[in-house]
A and B are shown apart, each in its own frame.
Chain A
Amino acid sequence: MESIGRSVIRKDAVAKVTGAAKYTADLKTVGSLYAKLVTSPYGHARILSIDTSAAEKVNGVHKILTGKDTNILTGEEIKDRPILATDRVRYHGEPVAVVIADTLAIAKQAANLVNVSYSPLPVIRSPKEAYQQGVPLVHEHLGDYEKIAEVFPKPGTNICNHTKIRKGSMEIGWAKSTVVVETEVSFPPSDHCAMETRSVSAEILPNGQVIIHSSSQVPFTIKKMLSSIFGLNQGKITVHTPLVGGAYGGKSAIQLEFIAYLASSAIGGQKVQLINSREEDFITSPVHLGLDAKVKLGCDAEGYLQAAEITLLFDGGAYSDKAVDMSRAAATDCTGPYQVENLWCDSFCMYTNHPYATSFRGFGHPESTFAVERAIERLAEKLGMDPIEFRWKNAIRPGQTTPTQVILNESRIGNVRRCIERVRELINWEEGRRIEITPERIRAKGVSCFWKNSNIDTNAGSGAILKFNEDGTVHLNCGVIEIGTGSRTVLAQIAAQKLGIDVDQIYVEMDIDTSSTPEHYKTVASRGLWMAGRAVLAAAEDAIGQLLNVAAQVFRVSLDDLDIGKGFVFLKDNPARKLALKELVYGYVYPNGNAIGSQVIGRGSYTLRGMTFLDPKTGKGVPGPDWTVGAQAVEVEWNKRDYTYKILRAVTVIDAGTIINPKLAQGQVKGAMHMGLSFASREGFIFGPNEVVETTQFRTYKVLRYGENPDYTVDFVVTPSRETAYGLRGIGEHALIGMPAALANSLSTAAEVHLNRLPLTPELIWRMKTGGVR
Chain B
Amino acid sequence: MPEKKMYNLYVNDEEASVVARPSDTLLHVLRDQLGLTGAKPGCENGDCDACTVLVDGKPIKSCLMLAIEAEGKHVKTIEGLKNTRIQKAFVENWAIQCGYCTPGFIMNGFALLNQHSNPDSETINDWLSGNLCRCMGYAEIKAAIKSVMTSDHADKSS
Contacts and interface: CB of A to CB of B under 8 A. Distances in A.
A603 interface: no
B129 A19 contact: no
Contacts of A699: 45, 47
A484 B103 CA distance: 15
Interface string B61-100: 0000000000000000111011000011011101011111
Contact of A278 (B21, B43, B131): B43
A433 interface: no
A245 interface: yes
Contacts of B42: 195-197, 278
A233 interface: no
A105 B21 CA distance: 10
Interface size class of A (residues with CB under 8 A): 35 or more
A17 interface: yes
Interface string B116-158: 0000010011001111111111111110000000000000000
A705 B129 contact: yes
Given A25-B41, A707-B125, A709-B139, A246 B132 contact: no
A485 B90 CA distance: 16
Task: Label chain A's interface by main secondary structure.
Answer: loop
B9 interface: no
B48 interface: yes
Contacts of B77: 19
A664 interface: yes
Q: Helix, strand, loop or mixed for chain B's interface? A: loop
Contacts of B94: 7, 10, 663-664, 666-667
A211 interface: no
Nearest to A664: B94
A709 B132 CA distance: 12
Interface residues of B, number: 57
A9 B106 CA distance: 18
Interface stretch (A519-527, A545-553, A671-679): A671-679
A59 interface: yes
- Which of B1, B102, B134, B136 gathers the greatest number of chain A CB atoms within 10 Å? B134
Given A195-B98, A484-B98, A28 B35 contact: yes
A706 B1 contact: no
Contact of A698 (B32, B43, B100, B102): B43
B100 A196 contact: yes
Nearest to B23: A105
Given A19-B78, A244-B98, A484-B99, A195 B133 contact: yes
A304 interface: no
A196 B98 contact: yes
A194 to B, nearest CB: 6
Contacts of A708: 129
Given A195-B48, A484-B97, A484-B99, A105 B1 contact: yes
A277 B96 contact: no
29 contacts: A15-B99, A17-B90, A17-B102, A18-B87, A19-B37, A26-B31, A28-B35, A105-B23, A106-B1, A195-B98, A195-B134, A197-B41, A246-B97, A246-B135, A247-B98, A277-B44, A484-B99, A484-B135, A485-B97, A670-B136, A674-B136, A674-B137, A698-B48, A704-B138, A706-B125, A706-B133, A706-B141, A707-B124, A707-B125
